[in-house]
Amino acid sequence: MKARRSTVLDPIFLLILVGVVVAAATIGHLRYRYSPSVEHESAFLRNYSPRPVMESFAVKQDPPSTADGVGSSAGGKFVTNERTIDLMFAIQADMGPALMNALNEDMAAQLARIGSTIIARSGDPARGFHFSYKDGTSVGSVTLLPLSDRARSSLNPPLAEGLKEVRASIIISEKWFPREPGAVQARMELR
């Protein structure tokens, strides 16, 4: 009888032991996880605005629109943040390259103004522009996609001759690290 009780209790104790180990590992894993918050976003990610440049090129009789959103994910070693900005507005048909160059220069100026270090910069008006930067313990990239023509809604009146509606998309992706060494390593990998 004693042997039978032992064979029944052994698997139960084994299951309890496995459950305790799994629970301890899960709690330990979650304990050292960094959660997204405003403190884990760079000043550039939070404050960058292409609106002044957009408004200087936009046709006044057609109000511009902006879609802007930030998404973040937690991590054991870093927090990932991504912000997408879509600008939709009408411009003079021949002003596309000038608009792209103005947005490019404005991005560089805003990165410098907040104290970010530009690690790499590339692109042209036809292919878009790309920056890699470091801001404190955040390492990120900004991509300005090429302008795309936007189909005009049938609810809006047609545009005058020589005007076109465009869409400019900007994607800011960055990783925040709790201390400098992780950010330095990520910066080296970006190259």
Range of the domain at 22: 1-31
On whether the CB atoms of residues 83 and 45 are closer than 8 A, the answer is yes
- Where do the DSSP E strands lie in 79-125? 79-92, 117-124
Look up residue 45 and give its amino acid.
L
* Domains held by the chain: number: 2
CATH of the domain at 65: 3.40.1000
Query: Can you tell me the mean pLDDT for 26-38?
Result: 67
Band (191; pLDDT cuts 50, 70, 90): very low
Identify which of 47-56, 72-81, 156-165 has the greatest average pLDDT: 47-56
Among 132, 114, 113, 136, smallest CA distance to 122 is for: 132
Band (7; pLDDT cuts 50, 70, 90): low
On whether the CB atoms of residues 147 and 164 are closer than 8 A, the answer is no
pLDDT at 31: 56
| Residues 85 and 166 occupy one common structural domain | yes
| Residues 147 and 82 occupy one common structural domain | yes
| Residues 51 and 16 occupy one common structural domain | no
Report the percent of the chain where pLDDT is more than 70. 82
Query: pTM of the entire structure?
Result: 0.75
Query: Can you tell me the mean pLDDT for 110-115?
Result: 94
| Residues 13 and 60 occupy one common structural domain | no
Among 129, 134, 29, 37, smallest CA distance to 80 is for: 37
| Residues 132 and 175 occupy one common structural domain | yes
| Residues 105 and 124 occupy one common structural domain | yes
Average pLDDT along the chain: 83
The total number of residues written for the chain in this structure: 191
Query: Can you tell me the mean pLDDT for 116-132?
Result: 95
On whether the CB atoms of residues 142 and 130 are closer than 8 A, the answer is yes
| Residues 148 and 74 occupy one common structural domain | yes
Which residue is it, tokens 């994910």?
Answer: 73
| Residues 45 and 77 occupy one common structural domain | yes
On whether the CB atoms of residues 188 and 134 are closer than 8 A, the answer is no
CA distance 91 to 54: 9
- Which residues are within 8 A (CB) of 190 and not within 5 positions of it... i.e. 6 or more apart? 119, 120, 132, 139, 141
| Residues 109 and 159 occupy one common structural domain | yes
Higher pLDDT, 74 or 132: 132
| Residues 108 and 85 occupy one common structural domain | yes
Identify which of 42-56, 58-72, 98-112 has the greatest average pLDDT: 98-112
| Residues 5 and 53 occupy one common structural domain | no
For residue 155, pLDDT over 80 is answered with no
DSSP, res 76: S
